[in-house]
Structure 1
Amino acid sequence: MEEVSKLWIVIASFIVVMLCHFIYHWSNPKCNGKLPPGSMGFPIIGETIEFMKPHDALQYSTFLKKRILRHGPLFRTSLFGGKVIISVDNELNMEMAKTNRIPGITKSVARLFGEDNNFLG
């Protein structure tokens, strides 16, 4: 009976170690120079809770300030269950807006509201 309980302890320890390993690698993925730096937070919720904290509307939120100091004006994170890249660089944002079909509107916003709508037109 004692051997069975030791076996369960070993199995449970292995599962905990694998879970911690998965969470660590999910929250700190390797970019290999292809993606901007950043952390992804916890699986599914990501960094949504910190992103949604109230802040002064005339200044950057503490979430953005921390990431800008750590990673620069372009970084990746996980918000609302999806992986996103956040840009605070004005030149890059203007260049992205210029490359879309509708000036000033990104493709994701156009997809959200549809091609023919009164909001974007």
Structure 2
Amino acid sequence: MTTTPLRTLFCIGINQNFFDAVAEEQKAVWGAFVQMMQGIAALPGVTVLGNMDDDRAMVGPSDSWPWTTYLLADLPDLATVHAACNLFRTTPVGDGTYKLWKYAKVEARVGRELSIPAYAA
């Protein structure tokens, strides 16, 4: 039996802690962010479809929409969606004193691919 993947939009907001950090700490956050994004892509059954960064048209922290950046992916099940979100809680920043969720938050929107039927003209 095959299952339809869960089309998931990860809406990611950078918060004030990142903007208050010194340059060295911001660099460590960026490294953790890359590790988290690679971690999502490496989860079993995940197909990353694309991403979008809104950092040029939006300045400052994201408390809600509009978010700072987005990742669109197909995931095999809800447990994998939860595992992807959990990477924000577990990915260490720098020496590991803090985790990524001190600097960024995520909201996952889960749905399905919109299938548009073909109609005869």
Give the TM-score normalised by the residue count of structure 2. 0.28
| Higher-strand-fraction structure | 2
Give the TM-score normalised by the residue count of structure 1. 0.28
Of structures 1 and 2, the one scoring higher in RCO (CA 8 A, sep 6+) is 2
Structure with max Cα Rg? 1
